[in-house]
Amino acid sequence: MKFVKMHGLGNDFIMIDCLCDADSRDKRVSGTEDILNRETVQRLCDRHYGIGADGVICILPSARADFRMKLYNADGSTAQMCGNGIRCLGKYVYDHDRTEKVNLQIETDAGVRQLILYKETDRINTVRVDMGTPDFVPEHIPVRFSYTCVSVGNPHCVIFLKDKEELEQFALEKYGPELEHHPSFPEGINVEIAWIQAPDRIYMRVWERGCGETKACGTGACAVAAAAMRMRKCGPSVNMQLPGGQLRVDYGIRSRNLYLTGPAEEIYSGEIAMG
């Protein structure tokens, strides 16, 4: 099976092109989505015995949009949406001649998302994603106690800390999995810890559901920004500083949507035996 390894700020993915055609793709790729069971995804994402990644993305045809994204976490579970992953998908389909469009609609399990691709020479360097409207309604987030959470296509729990030192020393490897698997969150939860340095800059770390701590998380950055905006602790445009680098989140006053902008990079391509 052929694949391409990509990342957005160090949040890395195995990209599998399922857009088969007789001219440019090996027909063995057809049906790839069907063979990606939990065990197979875990093996592919294993950093010692597989390719190694935070997740696997299948690029599929769509009846509703230009392409469809099917996302698997490193533990084999599925995820509704991923801000870094969808930016990688946008770069992939343009750079690999799957489209000539720089304005794309991508179908996800959280709905259709719009992408704007920014070219540098003949390649895509930066991608802007319309992440939709943040949802603070508790009934829309699987949780069994009264808590301020936010959904940006998938559920997040945001914790604000008092300073950068507390952020860096926070035992996320201990409390992340405890919150992720807490019975109060029947479908699991993504956990973000954050420090607001200034109205236009927030530092954060993230524990991703099904992955563990990652260098960056696009939906997590949007969740933190949305929570800070709701608290009136930041402005409508904020730079999110993650371990892997910087993302920008903008709030559309008219649309009430969040827009995520950041880089996407291809690392390498290869082929792996599936048998």
Query: Can you tell me the distance from the alpha carbon of 190 to that of 210, in angstroms, rounded to the nearest whole number?
Result: 9
DSSP notation for 244-265:
TEEEEEEE-TTT--EEEEEE-E
Token representation of residue 75: 């533990």
Active-site annotation holds for 217: yes
Kindly name the residue from 18, 58, 82, 211 that is annotated as catalytic. Answer: 82
Contacts of 54 (CB under 8 A, 6+ apart): 11, 12, 13, 45, 73, 74, 208, 211, 214
Do 19 and 58 contact (CB within 8 A), yes or no? no
Which helix (H) or strand (E) segment holds residue 241: the answer is strand 237-242
Q: Which of 88, 149, 157, 217 is catalytic?
A: 217
Q: How far is CA 148 from CA 35, 152, 157, 266, in A?
A: 38, 14, 7, 36
- Write out the H or E segment, with its range, that includes residue 57: strand 55-60
The token pair that represents 233 in the structure block: 């602790």
Q: Are 8 and 20 spatial neighbours (Cβ–Cβ below 8 Å)?
A: no
Please give the span between the terminal C-alpha atoms of the chain, in angstroms, as a whole number. 10
User: Residue 30 corresponds to which amino acid?
Assistant: S
Following DSSP, what letter does each residue of 75-137 receive, concatenated? TS-EES--HHHHHHHHHHHHHTTS---SEEEEEETTEEEEEEEEEETTEEEEEEEEEE--B--
**Is residue 82 flagged as an active site residue?**
yes
DSSP labels, 200-219: TEEEEEEEETTTEEES--HH
Which residues carry out catalysis? 82, 217
